[in-house]
């Protein structure tokens, strides 16, 4: 759907959410083409830190969770997610000495994110801002700024800025690993995989039709795909106003699965690799318990076990698969919104910038 907004001078074509989703392959290619020289300097800055703290809200926080997996596994640095209220409400910040603080915000306008970065800078930590607005409050609070280069994102739901953040974090993890004498992460095939994901409209429509008008959806991922499950569920909540509950599939087994009822839709985000055997077993066990199992995956055997699936075929490292799967999840959230009679261009009760303190 193309949205038209009416102004006094007439009707002007406005960019739609789908347009911004379709821009993501170009955004990824631009970051990969332009970002390396800049991010190598950031990697050198992180080479000697003892720990990293990531601070973000909303979709950016889900990207930060992905960044935690990357920085710990690729760069070998213990990484934590910040509790901003310790700085902004309790005046009880932890010690950021000998560490790094990385703030993530597409707008750079979240006061609490900027406050944590500023606190880290006062403590002498390496501070980095990942933002689409380098001249923002967040950008000014950090010593180093990495521009996401996503272009203006007009729609309320974060799509291309989320993807750009994940790619930027992968670049950072790779260059930091290299600076610390570890093996760098290859990003080969990422742009092609995102291009494939952005063109899955027909498969996504079939998946949305199969899920139907269910009022709840459980979204599961494991390892690198857990952050993708968090973001997929958030997009479904924001756009379709469906109560989508995300879990690590391991955490789901520790209690929440007792709530599973016959006919409950479960969306699995899975990949070939370290968790594939577990994911295949999970798909079968959920089906035996009466769940309606759906999947977004690059694993043909999972796709065969699911009632309906979006199967991606572009070769890609398991570490990077979450980026391409989230693009499919964005399209699915749009399709589910329309199936529920909701306008994904105007999600109820949300604003593009949320200023939490």
* Per-residue pLDDT at 13: 38
pLDDT tens string 85-110:
999 999 999 999 999 999 999 998 89
- Stated length of the chain: 357
In a domain, 238, yes or no: yes
* Per-residue pLDDT at 354: 62
Structure tokens at 314: 């572009």
Confidence of residue 12 (pLDDT cuts 50, 70, 90): very low
In a domain, 121, yes or no: yes
What total of structural domains would you count in the chain? 2
What is the share, in percent, of the chain residues with pLDDT greater than 70?
Answer: 92
> Given the structure tokens 């989230």, which residue do they identify?
326
Give the whole-angstrom CA distance, residue 247 versus residue 77.
24
> Does 206 lie in the same domain as 154?
no
pLDDT tens string 203-251:
999 999 999 999 999 999 999 999 999 999 999 999 999 999 999 989 9
Closest CA to 149 of 169, 159, 164: 164
Q: Which domain holds residue 238?
A: 191-339
Rounded to the nearest 5 percent, the helix, strand and coil shares of the chain are 50, 15, 35
> Does 260 lie in the same domain as 169?
no
Mean pLDDT of the chain: 91
* Per-residue pLDDT at 5: 38
In a domain, 346, yes or no: no
pLDDT tens string 258-301:
888 899 999 999 999 999 999 999 999 999 999 999 999 999 99
In a domain, 348, yes or no: no
Q: Which residues contact 241 (CB under 8 A, 6 or more apart)?
A: 337, 340, 342, 347, 348
pLDDT exceeds 60 at position 2: no
Give the whole-angstrom CA distance, residue 129 versus residue 107.
11
> Does 223 lie in the same domain as 173?
no
Give the whole-angstrom CA distance, residue 234 versus residue 49.
32
> Does 217 lie in the same domain as 179?
no
> Does 196 lie in the same domain as 149?
no
SS3 assignment, position 284: helix
> Does 226 lie in the same domain as 127?
no
* Per-residue pLDDT at 351: 55
């Amino acid at each position: 759907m193309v949205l038209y907004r009416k102004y006094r001078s007439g009707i002007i074509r406005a960019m739609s959410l789908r347009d911004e989703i379709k821009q993501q392959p170009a955004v990824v290619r631009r970051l990969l083409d332009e970002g390396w020289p800049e991010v190598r300097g950031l990697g050198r800055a992180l080479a000697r830190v003892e720990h990293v703290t990531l601070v973000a809200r909303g979709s950016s926080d889900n990207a930060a969770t992905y960044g935690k997996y990357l920085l710990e596994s690729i760069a070998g640095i213990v990484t934590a997610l910040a509790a901003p209220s310790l700085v902004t409400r309790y005046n009880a910040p932890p010690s950021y000495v000998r560490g790094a603080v990385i703030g993530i915000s597409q707008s750079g306008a979240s006061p609490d994110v900027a406050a944590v970065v500023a606190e880290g800078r006062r403590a002498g930590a390496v501070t980095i801002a990942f933002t689409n607005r380098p001249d923002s409050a967040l950008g000014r609070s950090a010593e180093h700024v990495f521009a996401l280069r996503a272009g203006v994102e007009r729609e309320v739901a974060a799509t291309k800025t989320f993807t750009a953040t994940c790619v930027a974090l992968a670049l950072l993890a790779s260059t930091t690993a290299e600076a610390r004498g570890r093996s760098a992460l290859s990003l080969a095939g990422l742009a092609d995989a995102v291009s494939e994901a952005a063109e899955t409209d027909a498969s996504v429509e079939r998946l949305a039709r199969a899920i139907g008008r269910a009022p709840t959806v459980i979204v599961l991922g494991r390892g690198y795909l857990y952050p993708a499950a968090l973001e997929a569920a958030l997009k479904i909540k924001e756009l379709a106003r469906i109560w989508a509950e995300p879990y690590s599939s391991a955490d789901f087994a520790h209690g929440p699965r007792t709530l599973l009822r016959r006919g409950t839709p479960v969306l699995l985000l899975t990949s070939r690799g370290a968790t594939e055997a577990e994911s295949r077993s999970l798909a079968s066990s959920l089906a035996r318990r009466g769940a309606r199992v759906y999947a977004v995956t690059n694993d043909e055997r999972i796709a065969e076990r699911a009632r309906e699936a979006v199967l991606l075929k572009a070769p890609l490292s398991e570490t990077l698969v979450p980026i391409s799967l989230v693009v499919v999840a964005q399209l699915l959230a749009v399709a589910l919104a329309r199936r529920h009679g909701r306008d994904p261009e105007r999600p109820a009760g949300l604003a593009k910038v949320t200023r939490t303190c």
